[in-house]
Amino acid sequence: MIKATRKPLEEISSSVKGYGRILVLGCGGCTSVCLAGGQRESLELADDLAQVARAGGSTQHQSSATVERQCNPVFLAEISGRIADCDCVLSTACGAGVQNLSDAFPALPVFPALDTLFIGVDIDVGLYEERCRHCASCMLAYTGGICPVTRCAKSLFNGPCGGTRVDGGCEVGEGKSCAWLEIHDRLKAQGRLDSILSLRPPMDWVDRGPATLVQVGYEGRYTAAKVAAP
Q: What is the contact surface with another protein in residues (CB under 8 A)?
A: 153-166, 168, 171-172, 178, 181, 184-185, 193, 197-203, 205
| End-to-end CA separation in angstroms for the chain | 37
Q: What's the min distance (Å) between Cβ of 132 and another protein?
A: 17
Q: What's the min distance (Å) between Cβ of 149 and another protein?
A: 9
Query: 190-225: b or e for each residue (b if 16 or more CB lie within 10 Å)?
Result: eeeeeebeeeeeeeeeeeeeeeeeeeeeeeeeeeee
Minimum CB distance to another protein smaller for 162 or for 210: 162
Minimum CB distance to another protein smaller for 58 or for 164: 164
Residue pair 149/133 in contact by the 8 Å Cβ criterion: yes
- Cβ atoms within 10 A of the Cβ of 145, count? 12
Minimum CB distance to another protein smaller for 93 or for 181: 181
Minimum CB distance to another protein smaller for 11 or for 219: 11
Q: What's the min distance (Å) between Cβ of 159 and another protein?
A: 5
Q: Residue 176 and residue 84: Cα distance in Å, rounded?
A: 47
Minimum CB distance to another protein smaller for 40 or for 188: 188
Please state whether beta strands 127-132 and 61-67 pair in parallel, antiparallel, or not at all (unpaired): unpaired
Amino acid at 21: R
Minimum CB distance to another protein smaller for 40 or for 165: 165
Q: Residue 142 and residue 120: Cα distance in Å, rounded?
A: 20
Helix, coil or strand: residue 64: strand
Q: What's the min distance (Å) between Cβ of 173 and another protein?
A: 8
- Cβ atoms within 10 A of the Cβ of 48, count? 16
Residue pair 60/20 in contact by the 8 Å Cβ criterion: yes
Q: What's the min distance (Å) between Cβ of 176 and another protein?
A: 10
Q: What's the min distance (Å) between Cβ of 116 and another protein?
A: 17
